[in-house]
Amino acid sequence: MFVVGVTGGIGSGKTTVTDLFKAHGITIVDADVIARHIMDTGSPALAAVEQRFGTEALHDNGSLNRAWLRERIFNHPEDKQWLNDLTHPLIREQLLRELEAATSPYVILSAPLLVENRLTSLCDRVLVVDVSEATQIERTLMRDDVSKAQVQAIIEAQATRQQRLDAADNVIHNDGDRSLLVNQVEKLHEIYLRLADTNTP
């Protein structure tokens, strides 16, 4: 399977871009969606979280209190490490399962932390959705109920713009109007179709 990794910082437009590839019939495997599902109510990962942190980490209905856990690992690096050690192998396993099950000519692996978590090793090509920090902040503030300081803290915790660009085979520029994405995606889609075709044994 020919895998195109798509990444970009918070609010850069990954979902907007992958939706356009989806419209071309391409399967999107989303690391964020998988990361959420492995903590579903009743999952072994959630049981491990409860064992470490107690019921404080859960809502009354037994589901994960994501806001609590986010805050906890933000303030306790050792807990962050523990959580990563628990979840990363599970996420990787499920990613591989979904990539292998994909039936489109190539498949997209969308992951905000593709570079940080070395998921680039699973990818034949890396596509970075690139925007300026000002655009990132502006669009995230429009979309989410967060403060500018919170967005800035998330940006600082992610790879730098340059680190992502260093890992890129292709770049989509998304500081401009949404309509400018359509052509960029169409050109890349043609390129990936050709690459996937010549890659087939």
> Given the rule CB under 6 A, which of 8-16, 83-91, 100-108, 158-166 is the region that contacts ligand ATP?
8-16
28: part of which helix (H) or strand (E)?
Answer: strand 27-30
**What would the x/- binding string for ligand ATP be over residues 119 to 158, using CB under 6 A?**
--------------------x---x---------------
DSSP codes, 46-102: HHHHHHHH-GGGB-TTS-B-HHHHHHHHHH-HHHHHHHHHHHHHHHHHHHHHHHHH-
Nearer to ligand ATP by Cβ, of 33 and 101: the residue is: 33
> Given the rule CB under 6 A, which of 4-12, 67-75, 89-97, 188-196 is the region that contacts ligand ATP?
4-12
Q: Tell me whether residue 13 is annotated as binding.
A: yes
Radius of gyration of the chain (CA): 18
11 lines the binding site for ligand ATP (CB under 6 A):
yes
Count other C-beta atoms under 10 Å from residue 96's C-beta: 14
Q: Tell me whether residue 12 is annotated as binding.
A: yes
Q: How far is the CB of 189 from ligand ATP (least distance, A)?
A: 17
Q: What's the rounded Cα separation, in Å, for the pair 104 and 81?
A: 35
194: part of which helix (H) or strand (E)?
Answer: helix 179-199
**What would the x/- binding string for ligand ATP be over residues 172 to 191, using CB under 6 A?**
--x--xx-------------
Q: What's the rounded Cα separation, in Å, for the pair 189 and 179?
A: 16
Chain residues that interact with ligand ATP, rule: CB under 6 A: 8, 10-16, 112, 139, 143, 174, 177-178
